[in-house]
Amino acid sequence: MTLRRFRYIALLCYALLLCQPEASAQVLADTASLRTAAAQAFASGNYGAAATAYKKLSARASEDADSVTAAGAFVRLGECYFSLSQPTRAIAAYNNALRFGAEDADAYEGLGFAYDAVWNDAKAEEAFKNAIRLRPAGTRAYIRLSLSQMKLRRHQEAFEALGHAIALLDDAIRIAPDSADARLSRGLAHLVSGDWNEATKELEPLRRINPDYAARLDQLIANARTQSAQRLAYLTRLVKARPKSADAQLRLGIAHLSLKQYGEAVENFKRAVQLKPTDEALRLLGVAHSFLSEWSEAAAAYEAAIKLNLKEPFYRNNLGTIYGRLNRLEDAMASYREAIRLKPDLAIAYTNLGMTLLNFESTLSLKFLREFTRLRVEVPYPNLNRSIQDPYLARYDTTLSLFRTALRLVPNSAEAYMGLGAIYARCGYDEKSIAYLQDAIRYRPDFVAAYMSLGIVLARGGNTAKALDMFERAKSFQPDAPDAYLELGRLYTAMGRYREAMENYREAVRLKPDDADARFNLGASYLKLGERAAAMKELEFLRPLSKDLADKLYALAMR
Question: How many domains is the chain built from?
Answer: 1
- Domain containing residue 117: CATH number: 1.25.40.10
User: What confidence score (pLDDT) does residue 151 get?
Assistant: 66
Residue 257 located in a structural domain: no
Cβ contact 160:414 at 8 Å:
no
Closest CA to 443 of 129, 106, 138, 127: 138
Q: Is the pLDDT of residue 6 over 80?
A: no
In Å, what is the CA distance from 334 to each residue of 320, 339, 340? 8, 9, 10
Q: Over 50: is that where the pLDDT of 470 sits?
A: yes
Per-residue pLDDT, averaged over 185-193, amounts to: 83
Confidence of residue 443 (pLDDT cuts 50, 70, 90): confident
pLDDT at 290: 95
Range in 59-63, 273-277, 281-285 the model is least confident about: 59-63
pLDDT at 3: 41
**Residue 503: inside a domain:** no
More reliable by pLDDT, 317 or 56: 317
Q: Is residue 352 part of a domain?
A: no
> In this model, does residue 539 exceed pLDDT 90?
no
Q: Please tell me the least confidently modeled range out of 81-95, 163-177, 397-411.
A: 163-177
pLDDT score at 154:
63
Separation in Å, CA 548 to CA 375, 430, 542:
16, 31, 10
Query: What is the rounded CA–CA span in Å between residue 128 and residue 149?
Result: 10
Quickly list DSSP for 170-212: HHHHHH-TT-HHHHHHHHHHHHHHT-HHHHHTTHHHHHHH-HH
CA 142 to chain CA centroid, nearest Å: 9
Amino acid identity for residue 202 in this structure: E
Task: State the pTM of this model.
Answer: 0.68
Contact 148, 121 (CB under 8 A): yes
- Which class for 480: exposed (0-12), middle (13-18), buried (19 or more C-beta within 10 A)? exposed
Q: Report the pLDDT averaged over residues 456-463.
A: 92
Q: Is 285 exposed, middle or buried (0-12, 13-18, 19+ CB in 10 A)?
A: buried
pLDDT at residue 257 in the model: 87
Q: How far apart are CA 300 and CA 319, in angstroms?
A: 9
Report d(CA 303, CA 322) in Å as an integer.
Answer: 11
Nearest by Cα to 143 from 191, 72, 178, 100: 191
DSSP 387: G
In this predicted structure, the answer to whether residue 140 has a pLDDT above a threshold of 90 is no
Characterise 176 by phi-psi region: left (phi > 0), alpha (psi -120 to 50), beta (else). Answer: beta
Does residue 73 lie in a domain region?
A: yes
DSSP for 321-361, please give it. HHHHHTT-HHHHHHHHHHHHHH-TT-HHHHHHHHHHHHHHT
d(CA 279, CA 288): 14
The contacts of residue 542 (CB under 8 Å, 6+ apart) are 516, 519, 520, 523, 549, 550, 553
User: Shortest CA distance to 74 belongs to which of 44, 53, 43, 48?
Assistant: 53
Angle, alpha carbons 259-244-303 (nearest 5°): 65
Residue 442 in contact with residue 136, Cβ under 8 Å?
Answer: yes
471: in domain: no
Going by pLDDT thresholds of 50, 70 and 90, the confidence category of residue 155 is low
Q: How far is CA 509 from the centre of its chain?
A: 30
Is the distance from CB of 268 to CB of 250 less than 8 angstroms? Answer: yes
Q: How far is CA 39 from CA 92, 363, 446, in A?
A: 20, 56, 38
Tell me the mean pLDDT in the region 64-92: 86
Tell me if 168 sits within 8 A of 445, measured CB to CB: yes
Q: How far is CA 55 from CA 41, 49, 83, 95, 233, in A?
A: 13, 10, 15, 14, 51
pLDDT at 307: 96
Tell whether 197 is covered by a domain.
no
User: What residue spans of 276-328 are helical by DSSP H?
Assistant: 279-291, 295-308, 313-325
Would 142 be classed as within a structural domain?
yes
105 neighbors 135 (Cβ within 8 angstroms)? yes
Residue 31 to residue 128: CA distance in whole angstroms: 31
CA distance 171 to 105: 21
Half-sphere exposure (Cβ direction) of 196: Cα atoms closer than 13 Å: 15
293 pLDDT above the threshold of 90: yes
Is 545 buried (19+), middle (13-18) or exposed (0-12) by CB count in 10 A?
middle
Task: Over range 292-302, report the average pLDDT.
Answer: 97
Helical packing angle, 516-528 and 498-511, nearest 10°: 150
DSSP string, 63-82: HTT-HHHHHHHHHHHHHHHH
Note whether residue 537 is domain-resident. no
Comparing C-alpha atoms, which of 426, 419, 364 is closest to residue 391?
A: 426
Q: Where residue 535 falls among pLDDT bands split at 50, 70, 90?
A: confident
Per residue in 191-224, pLDDT (tens digit) is 877 788 888 989 999 999 999 989 999 998 999 8
Distance CA 364, CA 7 (A): 84
Burial track 167-181 (b if 16+ CB lie within 10 A, e otherwise): bbbbbbbeeeeebbe
- The angle formed by the CA atoms of residues 165, 355 and 372, to the nearest 5 degrees, is 115
Q: Which domain holds residue 181?
A: 29-192
